[in-house]
Amino acid sequence: GDSVTQMEGPVTLSEEAFLTINCTYTATGYPSLFWYVQYPGEGLQLLLKATKADDKGSNKGFEATYRKETTSFHLEKGSVQVSDSAVYFCALVNSGGYQKVTFGTGTKLQVIP
Amino acid sequence: EPEVTQTPSHQVTQMGQEVILRCVPISNHLYFYWYRQILGQKVEFLVSFYNNEISEKSEIFDDQFSVERPDGSNFTLKIRSTKLEDSAMYFCASSHPRRDEQFFGPGTRLTVL
């Protein structure tokens, strides 16, 4: 079945540091890939998405590129802020069917001033 | 911007009691979903719903669970006889038929004592 694997957290960075959160996936077909963010005490917000190979999703300074050859969708940001502290979930929706989201385990990011 | 809403934000119940969690999806969406997140764990798919019937359900979604769209706006998840292990955050989501991203509500934290 479909699965998403994320790097273990927590990740602790200083403000303005470079962020990478690794994500790889296994899926049949041609999935769409997503990053969701969950701020403390809040629900899940869509951060960015990519629907086909080589697409780059971007939002709020975060980027991720859909790499079919390595089945990866790593999240990056050039300069993190304290307000980026949250849990980040990599996810996929497979083509066809009724579009259930398969989530990774989540990576907690803590940014310290 | 339209959003998914959920009530209540926190529900405390005794083991064996029935609970109903309520969601109002985005108005022009046609696919509806429930997910749950046990504290500290990944977000897990429970069920998807389209055209007034369940389209897919996970192995978690046993006979104790049911979903309903009682009117044109609400979407509910009922747990008939709650167990301690049902304690989790429950997220409702909805999606438009022509787009693959799902929009999540803020969640209902269910605590079973």
pLDDT digit string, tens, across residues A9-38? 899 999 999 999 999 999 987 899 999 999
Among A residues 17-36, those touching chain B with beta carbons less than 8 Å apart:
32, 34, 36
Average pLDDT (A91-107) is 83
To test the contact with chain B by mutation, choose from A2, A3, A5, A44 the residue with the greatest count of B C-beta atoms within 10 A, namely A44
Contacts of A35 in chain B (CB under 8 A): none
Tracing tokens 């747990």 back to the chain, one arrives at B79
Looking at every residue in chain B, the average pLDDT score rounds to 92
Average pLDDT (B71-100) is 91
| Nearest residue to A100 (alpha-carbon basis) of A110, A108, A92, A88 | A92
Strand partners, A36: A46, A89
**B5 close contact with A: CB closer than 8 A:** no
Confidence (pLDDT) at A98? 56
Distance from the B55 Cα atom to the nearest Cα atom in chain A, whole angstroms: 7
**A103 close contact with B: CB closer than 8 A:** yes
**B102 close contact with A: CB closer than 8 A:** yes
Segment holding A14, helix H or strand E: strand A11-14
Distance from the A98 Cα atom to the nearest Cα atom in chain B, whole angstroms: 7
